Amino acid sequence: MKMNYDIALTPNEWAMISNDLHGEGLHLVSKWRYNNKVHEEEYGFRTVESKSSIHTIVIDGQHALTTRFASDADKIIQELQTNTNFEVSVVTDTTISTEDKWVNPLGEYFLLDYENIVGIQQIGTTPELLYNEEVRMVTTLLNKNNTEVQLQFIITWETDGIQTKGCIEELCVNMPLPDIGTIQHLIETTISNYGDIGEPLIECYFDAKTDSRSECTPDIVARTRSARLVARGEEE
């Protein structure tokens, strides 16, 4: 399920939103995560250090060419040493600079540890919530081209055979629904501090391993949106 919000946000605002969500227990991280540990230095307004290097190839005592990448410098040196009689070496100059800034999120995936969470946070192929041994939910949040925010829930259920609509709805909708509602509520409340977020455009499909696809029924879409109201203690 994808929820697309029509709101423009600058990269700096997105970094601030990442920090705000971090305070709510929604931690934006990279897809390539190896544990559930949250590092405070990845969020907030901090002094950020950056390094840049220039590698100069020296041939017979003369500066011949430069490259930004150590791997390129190594390849050039190896080629010259293999194919010529030149005396070659490399000189590396490194510049370190610091800047006080809002830390940009490392990725679009969530580690989640907010209050009353239903699923169990774990690292599978990516960070995900586990509901039983078969049902998993991956949650992502993306600032697309600084013009649109996309919230996505990817729910998977590994099953040996064809299942009834009732079973699919119970495991893939009802089970993660409280978390879907809470996540929507926290994200929408946070982003609304930076502008009018409005109602999202929702795309929702069921995809089977047979590559068949069916659109979510209107009642499932409606229940998904209603779940966020439950999370903030309201009723439609």
Give this prediction's pTM: 0.75
Rounded mean pLDDT of 146-166? Answer: 84
Neighbours of 65 (CB within 10 A): 12
Q: Check pLDDT > 70 for residue 199.
A: yes
Rounded mean pLDDT of 125-130? Answer: 92
pLDDT mean across residues, the chain: 89
Which of 67-71, 154-158, 229-233 reaches the highest mean pLDDT? 67-71
Segment 5-24, tens digit of pLDDT: 999 999 999 999 999 999 99
- The pLDDT > 90 percentage for the chain reads 70
Q: What is the DSSP string of 42-92?
A: GSSEEEEEEEEEEEEEEETTEEEEEES-HHHHHHHHHHHHHH----EEEEE
Rounded mean pLDDT of 94-110? Answer: 95
Tell which residue, 48, 49, 45, 47, has the closest CA to residue 15: 45
| pLDDT at res. 223 | 77
Segment 171-196, tens digit of pLDDT: 788 889 999 999 999 999 999 999 99
Q: How confident is the model at residue 161 (pLDDT cuts 50, 70, 90)?
A: low
Q: Check pLDDT > 60 for residue 134.
A: yes
Q: How confident is the model at residue 230 (pLDDT cuts 50, 70, 90)?
A: confident
Q: Check pLDDT > 70 for residue 235.
A: no
| pLDDT at res. 226 | 81
Beta strands (DSSP E) in the chain are 2-5, 26-29, 45-59, 62-67, 88-102, 109-112, 120-123, 127-130, 135-144, 148-157, 201-203, 205-207, 213-215
